[in-house]
Structure 1
Amino acid sequence: MSQAGPILFVSDAERPAFVAALDEARLFPVVDTDWTSAPRAVEEVQPAAVLAAVHAGHEPHVTRLAKTITAQSPYLPFVALDAAGTLPHNALPFSSRGGNPDRLIARLRAALRVRTLHATVLRRLPEVKIALPQGDPARDATVLLIGRGAAYPALSVAFGECVGVVGALSIEAAAKHLNTRDLDGVVLAEGFTARVTDAFLTVLAEDTRFRSLPVVVTAHQLTQSYDLPNLELITGEPPRIAANALPLIRQHAMEAQLSRTLRSIDAGGWLDPRSGLLTVEAFARDFAKAVEQTLARGGGLSVARFAFDPNNPRAQLDAARILSRLMRQMDFGAAQKDGSVIVVFAETDFRTAHMIARRLSAVMRHTSNGKHEMRSDPVVSVDSLSPSDTARSLLARLSADASRAAS
């Protein structure tokens, strides 16, 4: 991958062999600097990525450098090599075990793709009147936690402090979540044999849908390499595992956020970059048109409303992401201002729509937040268009049905 700028390598010692190999392979020109000069070098060199050899005593320098890197635009990847302590929020962990430069090259290429995507979005934003989502991308991230050992509850709480958590006690359950949800990371904890772990990682590496996912293994040594650029072994106490896995998860969440923003730009701003569904205004327009055409031409049209606890706003977002992934191409929906999500099923009768909505709500129930012990249990109401309906009357009846169901 080409990039506008070199790789900045920060260290107070000589380059490790695996870093020197980057320069020798002419894939990434490498510029050296020491820790004292690193923040100034970032601003002067304008690198495409920063690598830093982190040793004991470097913590104040790491914090200062991370702050400088955060201020750069577009996204500037920061990879911390062999850090023993807790990393800053934007420092991607990397263990140089084995000294294999191929792992580092894969990690850099994955990060540089996010940088390129960010640059593309910034370039195209003036085309439509939409705003780039603000705030920490990790707040909207969802992580799949797989495990059944003693550390599982503590890991669930540690990750739940900052991201949504989908739990799985078996590899089979994990596979279902991987196929039905948009995930920003996988944490494979204890409770599985080395053989099962190897088989699971091999399957992930062979499926292009999951190859860029951050995958954190907490309980097994990795005895072979996998084609997973963001695979990392992180051990220790659950809070440290969560803190050092979070930068990889945040980068993936940012990539997903940017991809949705780009789709919104392509759609003329009618898609919500945060949820992936239509904006409220676009939904109202398309729903009125769909009702009008169905009444004129005949056929079926059904609507489902998924309402959530107003004290758990994360549940609405999670549901919207699930729906944007699983609903049919002919269907459309939007996250509403009252905290619900409404989906329109085109050419669908009431019975079929009810069955689809029940299946979708079953998927939504598996996400919880470890901090608040909240689950995403929606109140679901379904209704179908009748000859005397208008778009407004159908939605009003749907909301009334939801109110009765909630009470």
Structure 2
Amino acid sequence: MSQQGPILVVSTARRPSFAAALDVAKLFPVVEAEWADAVRAVEQMQPAAVLAATSDVDPTTLAALAAPIAAHQPYLPLIAVDPQGTLPENAIPFFQSQNSQELGDSSRLVARLRAALRVRSLHATVMRRLVPATRIALSDIDTFRDATVLLVGRGGAYPTLSVSLGEQTGVVGALSIEAAAKHLNTRDIDGIVLSEGFSPRVVDAFLTVLAEDARFRHLPVVVTSGDLLPAYELPNLEILLGEPAQMVATALPLIRQHAFEAHLSRTLRSIDAEGLIDARTGLLTPSAFERDFASAVYQTQQRGGGLSVARFAFDPAHPRAQFDGARIISRLMRQMDFGAVCDDGSVVVAFAETDLKTAHTIARRLSSVMRHTSHGKRDTRAEPTVTVATLDSKDSAKALLARLGEEAHRAAS
């Protein structure tokens, strides 16, 4: 991976101990600056990443450095080592262990830095290929709207963590490791919070599986237990203790970074599809859907076979649930199917070579996955109203969609 600039280390007068990890990993050049000169150093040196020793720095000073860093394009990672207090939304936390040699803090820090640089490289690729040039920034990511966190646990802290997370992100709850594994395989997850209620052996096995699977290796993972050593190949693993609200606030920058990376990946797929895919949901754009649907109706009537269509209507008062449902559908629908988000926030999906009974079965399965997601303080769930229609011999594409709308209206009534 190209570093594309120096690594800037910001600290007080003496060189921080973690800077030696950069030398060992041969990440150079490494430039050092004191806090008084940090903002100017960022402007002059155009670094690829900034590592800041924040154990003796107040949140205001850190925020003053984070603000100009947030404006940089492409994404400029800011890693706050041993932060105190609330973090800016673009400051990635890293907590050193008391015995850093035993627990491999150096390799953990380098791994976290490399993971952040991956996001920077992806952002640079998207910027290079996006025509016309459009600004995409980490600040565009609203965790409540764009991120989903998997909360795993069954202890006394679980309800409080669920509320704290639900105020900031979408939440998928799992009371067992088996349920968590199922959600990971069927959903787009931007972070995992592993609460109490499991033995150290079970936690160790779960984290080992995550580290061995390339799909999940870079997920932010927060463990709320103090009897675990962070000796896993998970670059964004943190063990956080304290009040649930503070743990969630500390984890949010990692979650936001992953949601940003996922958004960039969808944008790249949209570019590859020449703009026919909606970068936010992964589904087709409305115009692309109309074209493909008209073609599918014509071909089905000419060659025979089945074609069904389903409409998933969400509560318009909760747009977060609408987009979460759209992403679930985008991930789980069959390769032969295609869908789009309509102007009213509903999602319409065409099921190729599918009769009405099979379409009902597929729609129920998709809907059941959405049912396990909660949003906000009142535990509002993404349970859509689902209507299904199938193509008749005399239907046109417009007539079939109109009939689907009529059936949806009757279902709502």
TM-score by length of 1: 0.96
- What pairs up with 1:295-374 in 2 under 5 angstroms? 295-374=301-380
1:150 is matched with which residue? 156
What is the CA distance between 1:289 and its match in structure 2?
0.9
Report if the CA contact (8 A) 2:7-2:28 is conserved. Answer: yes
Report if the CA contact (8 A) 1:146-1:167 is conserved. Answer: yes
What do residues 218-269 of structure 1 show as CA deviations (whole Å, max 9, x unaligned)?
Answer: 1233225111111111111111111110000000000000011111111111
What is the CA distance between 1:372 and its match in structure 2?
3.5
- What pairs up with 1:6-405 in 2 under 5 angstroms? 6-97=6-97, 98-99=100-101, 100-126=105-131, 132=136, 135-138=140-143, 139-405=145-411
Classify the secondary structure of the residue corresponding to 1:17: coil
Q: Provide the rounded CA distance (Å) in 2 between the counterparts of 1:131 and 1:227.
A: 33
Q: Provide the rounded CA distance (Å) in 2 between the counterparts of 1:104 and 1:281.
A: 45
What is the CA distance between 1:48 and its match in structure 2?
0.4
Q: Provide the rounded CA distance (Å) in 1 between the counterparts of 2:79 and 2:391.
A: 54
Q: Provide the rounded CA distance (Å) in 1 between the counterparts of 2:222 and 2:323.
A: 24
What do residues 302-359 of structure 1 show as CA deviations (whole Å, max 9, x unaligned)?
Answer: 1111111111111110111111111111110001111210111111111111111111
What is the CA distance between 1:132 and its match in structure 2?
4.6
Q: Provide the rounded CA distance (Å) in 2 between the counterparts of 1:162 and 1:25.
A: 36
Q: Provide the rounded CA distance (Å) in 2 between the counterparts of 1:171 and 1:350.
A: 35
Structure 1, 80-89 or 284-293: larger mean CA deviation = 80-89
Classify the secondary structure of the residue corresponding to 1:299: coil
How many residue pairs match? The answer is 406
Classify the secondary structure of the residue corresponding to 1:268: coil
What is the CA distance between 1:16 and its match in structure 2?
3.4
Q: Provide the rounded CA distance (Å) in 2 between the counterparts of 1:25 and 1:118.
A: 24
Classify the secondary structure of the residue corresponding to 1:51: strand
Report if the CA contact (8 A) 1:160-1:371 is conserved. Answer: yes
What is the CA distance between 1:108 and its match in structure 2?
0.7
Q: Provide the rounded CA distance (Å) in 1 between the counterparts of 2:402 and 2:379.
A: 32
Q: Provide the rounded CA distance (Å) in 1 between the counterparts of 2:87 and 2:319.
A: 29
Report if the CA contact (8 A) 2:10-2:34 is conserved. Answer: yes
Q: Provide the rounded CA distance (Å) in 2 between the counterparts of 1:314 and 1:374.
A: 10
What is the CA distance between 1:180 and its match in structure 2?
0.3
What do residues 136-184 of structure 1 show as CA deviations (whole Å, max 9, x unaligned)?
Answer: 2423110001111222122112111221111111111111101100010
Classify the secondary structure of the residue corresponding to 1:377: coil
Q: Provide the rounded CA distance (Å) in 2 between the counterparts of 1:239 and 1:146.
A: 16
2:4 is matched with which residue? 4
Q: Provide the rounded CA distance (Å) in 1 between the counterparts of 2:393 and 2:404.
A: 16
Paired letter, 2:107: D
Paired letter, 2:108: R
Report if the CA contact (8 A) 2:141-2:259 is conserved. Answer: no
Q: Provide the rounded CA distance (Å) in 1 between the counterparts of 2:44 and 2:244.
A: 38
Q: Taking structure 1 as reference, are residues 224 and 110 closer, same or farther at Cα in structure 2, changes over 3 Å only? A: closer
Report if the CA contact (8 A) 1:194-1:220 is conserved. Answer: no
Report if the CA contact (8 A) 2:86-2:250 is conserved. Answer: yes
Classify the secondary structure of the residue corresponding to 1:166: strand
Q: Provide the rounded CA distance (Å) in 1 between the counterparts of 2:133 and 2:404.
A: 32
Paired letter, 1:225: A
Q: Taking structure 1 as reference, are residues 224 and 55 closer, same or farther at Cα in structure 2, changes over 3 Å only? A: closer
Q: Taking structure 1 as reference, are residues 86 and 129 closer, same or farther at Cα in structure 2, changes over 3 Å only? A: closer
Report if the CA contact (8 A) 1:158-1:370 is conserved. Answer: no
What is the CA distance between 1:2 and its match in structure 2?
2.3
- Consecutive unaligned residues of structure 2, counting only runs of 5 or more, are none
Paired letter, 1:107: R
- Consecutive unaligned residues of structure 1, counting only runs of 5 or more, are none
Q: Taking structure 1 as reference, are residues 172 and 273 closer, same or farther at Cα in structure 2, changes over 3 Å only? A: same
Q: Taking structure 1 as reference, are residues 188 and 309 closer, same or farther at Cα in structure 2, changes over 3 Å only? A: same
Q: Provide the rounded CA distance (Å) in 2 between the counterparts of 1:18 and 1:130.
A: 37
Report if the CA contact (8 A) 1:36-1:61 is conserved. Answer: no
Classify the secondary structure of the residue corresponding to 2:36: coil
Q: Provide the rounded CA distance (Å) in 2 between the counterparts of 1:25 and 1:174.
A: 34
* Alpha-carbon RMSD: 1.6
What is the CA distance between 1:68 and its match in structure 2?
1.4
Report if the CA contact (8 A) 1:22-1:29 is conserved. Answer: no
Q: Provide the rounded CA distance (Å) in 2 between the counterparts of 1:320 and 1:130.
A: 24
Report if the CA contact (8 A) 2:338-2:350 is conserved. Answer: yes
% of aligned pairs identical?
Answer: 66
Report if the CA contact (8 A) 1:137-1:257 is conserved. Answer: no
